[in-house]
Amino acid sequence: MRRFNFFFAVLFLALVLSPIPAPTKEALPKTVSIATHSIGAFFHTTGVAAAKVISERTKMRAIVKPMSGPVAWFPYLERGDVDLGVLNMWDAEKGYLGESMYEKLSQKKGFSIGLVCMTVPNAIGFVVAKDGGIKTIADLKGKRVAANYPTPSIQLQTEAALANANLTIHDVISVPANSPPAGVSLITNGRADASSVTVGTPAVDELKAKRGALFLSFDPSREAVERMRKFYPGYMVTVTPGPGRTGIEKETNLWAYDTYLVARTNFSDEAVYTITKALWENYKDLGSVHQLLKNWQPSTFISKNAIIPFHPGAIRFYKEKGVWTREMEALQRELLAKKKKETP
């Protein structure tokens, strides 16, 4: 009996004194898919830069999946066939809440996305061929403008740009285009006179090579800005000539808005944490893909102007870095509550 009791006493002490094993980390996926706009769009370039860092600086391999924008890839993301996506703030908010054209697409539920980080602001404007004789936005009246885009945000950007000069879509001849780069190609081929597009889009380089390229400057007055904001959120920026800014020949006023890298909310927290960490610590690698991505720096990753909630995996990293403030925590609760409030 004494031997029996001694045996259990030893066993008990062994259990008590044995170190508690640390919780194992969630296994990282082997591959990560990033949805973007079509090849030639700056959002695609942004996705390529993110994929480069993820593939080279983590144990995951990132694959870029170009599509015709979030209207095409949101359903794939919801099903888990896509992990990350690059998009503008308008599409992010409308998609998250299930508003505008995303109401029907998401069955009024909105899509389950979380913000990983801000990328770089997009600066857009009308680009024209230098040999076309168009010098101002007002000159576009009666001209052929790329429009009728399948993605509503791009169409609204075009109408906002026209509103800057007190023009409407009915004052121009709309030439259907699938994307802004496709619109620029229409100019290159002589089938359109102008297209709204992001500075840094490769298609503008092609236009310059064949016909010359010129971005038209916006009127920065308060009245003109207010007219633009009725169609699309944003702010006026002054862009100067420089590498990666084809078509900018002097100080030019363009319209800017924030762009996001998002993840599906049920994507591994560990994976999003690892991706956020890799992008933050290796941000200089992003600029090697495109000159304008040199502005994608840690100081731009989070902002109190965010309009969708952050992914928990990203929040974990930001807390470690000490940049997740009480203000950001309050904003996160507010944004999460907004969807609950508006979802039927």
- Helical packing angle, 89-97 and 70-79, nearest 10°: 50
CA 334 to chain centre: 21
Q: What percent of the chain has pLDDT over 90?
A: 81
pLDDT at 184 over 90: yes
Six-digit token string for 287 = 């600029």
Higher pLDDT, 235 or 187: 187
pLDDT for res 47: 97
Q: What is the number of alpha carbons within 13 Å of residue 60 lying toward its C-beta?
A: 24
pLDDT at 317 over 60: yes
Mind listing the pLDDT tens digit for each residue in 233-251? Answer: 889 999 999 998 999 999 9
At the fourth CATH level, the homologous superfamily of domain 31-121+259-342 is Periplasmic binding protein-like II (3.40.190.10)
**pLDDT confidence bin for 5, thresholds 50/70/90:** low
Dihedral sign of CA atoms 208, 210, 212, 216 in order: negative
Give mean pLDDT, residues 288-303.
93
Domain ranges for the chain: 31-121+259-342, 123-256
pLDDT at 226 over 90: yes
Q: Which of 41, 229, 278 is nearest to 151 (CA)?
A: 41
Strand pairing report for 235-239 and 252-257: antiparallel
Residues 194, 140 contacting (CB under 8 angstroms): yes
pLDDT at 323 over 50: yes
Alpha carbon distances (Å) from 196 to 14, 93, 113, 281: 71, 22, 27, 34
Please report the DSSP string for 4-15 in residue order.
Answer: HHHHHHHHHHHH
Q: What is the number of alpha carbons within 13 Å of residue 332 lying toward its C-beta?
A: 16
Give mean pLDDT, residues 261-275.
98
The mean of the pLDDT values for the chain is 91
Q: What percent of the chain has pLDDT over 70?
A: 91
pLDDT for res 342: 54
pLDDT for res 22: 45
Six-digit token string for 156 = 């609204």
Please report the DSSP string for 65-108 in residue order.
Answer: EE-S-HHHHHHHHHHTS--EEEEEHHHHHHHHHT-TTHHHHTTT
Lowest mean pLDDT among 7-11, 170-174, 292-296, 335-339: 7-11
Q: Which of 225, 220, 213, 221 is nearest to 238 (CA)?
A: 220
Q: Which of 223, 176, 221, 184 is nearest to 201 (CA)?
A: 184
Give mean pLDDT, residues 321-330.
97
pLDDT for res 341: 61
pLDDT at 38 over 50: yes
pLDDT for res 25: 63
* CATH 3.40.50.12170 is held by the domain 123-256: no
Mind listing the pLDDT tens digit for each residue in 10-35? Answer: 444 444 444 544 444 678 999 999 99
Mind listing the pLDDT tens digit for each residue in 58-85? Answer: 999 999 999 988 999 999 999 999 999 9
Alpha carbon distances (Å) from 103 to 24, 71, 300, 344: 40, 11, 30, 11
pLDDT for res 57: 98
pLDDT for res 152: 84
Give mean pLDDT, residues 79-105.
94
The reply to whether 31-121+259-342 and 123-256 are identical in fold is: yes
pLDDT for res 4: 46
For the stretch 326-330, contacts whose Cβ atoms lie closer than 8 Å and that sit 24 or more positions apart, written own/partner, are 328/302, 328/304
Buried b (16+ CB within 10 A) or exposed e, 308-339: bbbbebbbbbbeeeeebeeebeebbeebeebb
pLDDT for res 182: 94
